[in-house]
Structure 1
Amino acid sequence: MSQSNVVRIPVRDVAQQPLQWRALCSRDDLVPNSGVVAWHDGSQVALLYLPEHADKPLYAIDNRDPKSGANVIGRGLLGSIKGDLVIASPMYKQHFRLEDGHCLEYPEQSLRVWPVRLNGDVVEIGED
């Protein structure tokens, strides 16, 4: 294949900031060391607020448990396994890493995660 036929598509670095931030709720809507659920772009998003983790106190992860199909992840128990922050599904107790949504017990399961931040007292979610 000649170089003239090759189309180079730039790959977006996942560490880059999202293209746009959108206000989702306020800090007052969050519950410390627990989850609340917000509606975002057709999906239920579990917002997990860990204020004692100053470097990253907020996570946004899909609320739908892939094993049961129930929207319950935001009601799960937060903890740490081998240094990873996790949430345990209230249905089947499988653990999902907050950082990337991967399931520790079932590698074929994962949850979508969104970039999220506190901008003053506003919770903002990243959109592509």
Structure 2
Amino acid sequence: MTSTIELTTTWARACAVSDLEPGWGEVALLDERQVAIVRVAGEEVYAVDHHDPHTGAPVMARGIVGSRGERPTIASPLHKEVYDLGTGECFTDPSLTLRTYRTRVVGGMLEVEVDG
């Protein structure tokens, strides 16, 4: 007997992309989670956990947005650890990881994957 597992993806609507200022983070409460949303440019938007992996403080949306080479980054406003916005990898301390969420733009609205 073959069993199949159905995976469902739940997308939560966060805001209009036009409401986000490039290079600046905002916080959204999605499915009871605080998610930091960062618009890099155009419709290139990233979503990561709002809690700093090093301290647990809810501050990542106030982090410093930048880049390492071609990779968009965010630095914690507390201890300045630098994270890749796409992968959550920490460039300055490999023992730390920032949770990331997939995003998509549908009809000008940003949606964030909250389950999957």
TM-score by length of structure 2 reads 0.84
**Counterpart-to-counterpart distance in 2, 1:104 and 1:96:** 6
Task: Tell me the residue number matched to 1:29.
Answer: 19
Query: Considering only CA atoms, is the larger Rg found in Structure 1 or Structure 2?
Result: 1
Task: Percent identity, please.
Answer: 34
1:8 CA drift (Å)? 8.9
Q: Does residue 48 in structure 1 map to residue 50 in structure 2? A: no
1:75 CA drift (Å)? 0.6
Q: Which structure: greater strand fraction?
A: 2
1:25-75, Cα deviation, whole Å (9 max, x unpaired): 2224312221100011222101000125x6xx1000011001122111111
**Which residue of 59, 66, 71 maps to 1:72?**
59
Task: Tell me the residue number matched to 1:102.
Answer: 89
* Contact 2:51–2:58, Cα closer than 8 Å, also in 1: yes
1:97 CA drift (Å)? 0.3
The aligned length equals: 114
**Counterpart-to-counterpart distance in 2, 1:8 and 1:92:** 48
Give me the CA root mean square deviation. Answer: 2.3
**Counterpart-to-counterpart distance in 1, 2:12 and 2:61:** 20
1:120 CA drift (Å)? 1.7
Q: SS at the partner of 1:32?
A: coil
Unaligned stretches of 5+ residues in structure 1: 1-6, 13-17
TM-score by length of structure 1 reads 0.77
Task: Tell me the residue number matched to 1:15.
Answer: none
**Counterpart-to-counterpart distance in 2, 1:9 and 1:109:** 35
